[in-house]
Amino acid sequence: MARLFGTDGVRGLANVDITAELALRLSVAAAHVLGDEARKHGRRPKAVVGRDPRASGEFLSAAVIAGLASAGVDVYHANVLPTPAIAFLTADTHADFGVMLSASHNAMPDNGIKFFATGGHKLDDAVEDEIAALLDREWERPTGADVGRVVTMPDGHTRYISHLLAVLPHRLDGITVVIDGAHGAASSVSPEVFRLAGATVHEIGTEPDGLNINDGYGSTHLDHLKAAVVAKGADLGIAHDGDADRCLAVDASGTEVDGDQIMAILAVDMKERGVLAQDTLVATVMSNLGLIQAMEREGVTVRQTGVGDRYVLEEMRAHELSLGGEQSGHVIFLDHGTTGDGVLTGLMLAARMASTGRSLADLASVMRRLPQVLVNVKGVDKTRVESDAELQEAVAKEEAALAGSGRVLLRKSGTEPVVRVMVEAGDEDEAHAVAGRLVDVVKARLSL
């Protein structure tokens, strides 16, 4: 039986996969697992709940709040805020756990439910499995004064912005930036905090209506941002995804600066400032080989993990490291937060520009991206990727042919029904050729 939780919470088509009934049962089960420590100490558990602006979040958050309160949990309703804001507020208010309703970069019809433990940390697999196992249990329900209370959290927005400004190492005076909020949770927060930090801000994708999240805007659709940066003569553009735990950038010429380049810039910056713990960066196996090569030149060690910011975070916590992230733009500053924070990442990137007086293109030149081809193969059984011997033999053959000048990675998506084929090589034609051959093998061997 497949796990209920994926790499980033429970996610699927809202009102089909992610229903109000599931949200209620899941929140009740979570209340008993995540609120248990509070009850042991004679306290009533409390939780922070937030969501992104997508329409289904309205009824799903209502179901989650109802489930938590019915299980005796006091709820602080923060409404629409970025995922990292909910993680921060969970820690800042000393809540027992937090809940975020979001499907991140997915299209509007999807939604998801993710939980944060005490301190704003993502849950371990074992805790998620414990919650899933309790979905259908019948509980003794509190009554009278023992039911949970629900209050709004009007200062959540301000508390989060104050936190971001407090950790910024340099003001942004003189920097002109275009912010693309993906019509998502960053729409009000990101432009405001950049202005407060001193930047001149132009906005696109910051008018959420519940239906337009990630629709042609944001970190998965950069064309509008590229055009706006050039048209406004801006120094850079910042693109968030729907829940603002990601950040991609665009330089003054309209050229994309991806998560690997952002991490390279920030690792060098933090190393120079003496705040890069153990001079080490944590990245995933999806990061470009060019990042590894660049960091080696700069005297920075790179530790690689499986794909997913939760695994990056686990590695960082295990080894007390301060910077990690993914090519997709999830960047974690463990000294300042417990999850990827796209707004903070954008601020740190702009601060590096302001403090050095260098352009983003110049800063990004610290690494050369090897040509990388990524193909999402649909209509296949992703569960058989690791077990199919002929497929694995084909991968080994292609890797041997690249002879260290590139690499191959096949993996099943944790959030979508696809197999991802990623190839890096010395030139783009070779990368496309290798990827094409492997895609054919995936389709032949794993076709449904």
Buried-state track 204-227, b at ≥16 Cβ within 10 A, e below 16? bbbebeeebbbeebbbbbbebbbe
For residue 257, which phi and psi values (nearest 5 degrees)?
Answer: -120, 110
243 is in an annotated binding site: yes
End-to-end CA distance of the chain: 18
What residues contact 286, with CB distance under 8 A and at least 6 apart? Answer: 307, 326, 327, 328, 409, 422
How far is it, in rounded angstroms, from Cα 326 to Cα 333?
12
CA distances from 381 to 12, 221, 280, 358, 435 (A): 18, 28, 37, 47, 18
Instruction: Return the sign of the alpha-carbon dihedral for residues 223, 229, 230, 232.
Output: positive
Cβ neighbour number for residue 153 with a 10 Å cutoff = 18
Residue 84's closest CA among 244, 256, 267? 244
Cβ-in-10-Å burial (0-12, 13-18, 19+) of 381 comes to: middle
Amino acid at 46: K
User: Which candidate in 27, 104, 219, 287 is catalytic?
Assistant: 104
DSSP symbols for 355-423: HH---HHHHHTTS-PPPEEEEEE-SB-GGGTTT-HHHHHHHHHHHHHHTTS-EEEEEE-SSSS-EEEEE
Q: How far apart are CA 84 and CA 331, in angstroms?
A: 11
What crossing angle do the helices spanning 342-356 and 156-167 adopt, rounded to 10°?
A: 30
* 104 marked as part of a ligand binding site: yes
For the question of residue 102 being annotated catalytic, the response is no
Query: How many C-beta atoms surround the C-beta of residue 358 within 10 A?
Result: 14
Residue 391: CB atoms within 10 Å: 20
CA–CA dist 399, 418 (Å, integer): 22
Q: Is 381 annotated as ligand-binding? A: no
Identify the residue whose tokens are 């998506």.
Answer: 413
Question: Tell me, what DSSP letter sits at residue 241?
Answer: -
Answer yes or no: is 245 a known binding residue: yes
- Residue 92: CB atoms within 10 A of its CB come to 17
CA atoms of 73 and 52, how far apart (whole Å): 22
Note whether 261 and 284 are within 8 A (CB): no
Cβ atoms of 179 and 194 within 8 Å: the answer is yes
Annotation: binding site for Mg(2+): 104, 241, 243, 245
Which residues are known catalytic residues?
104
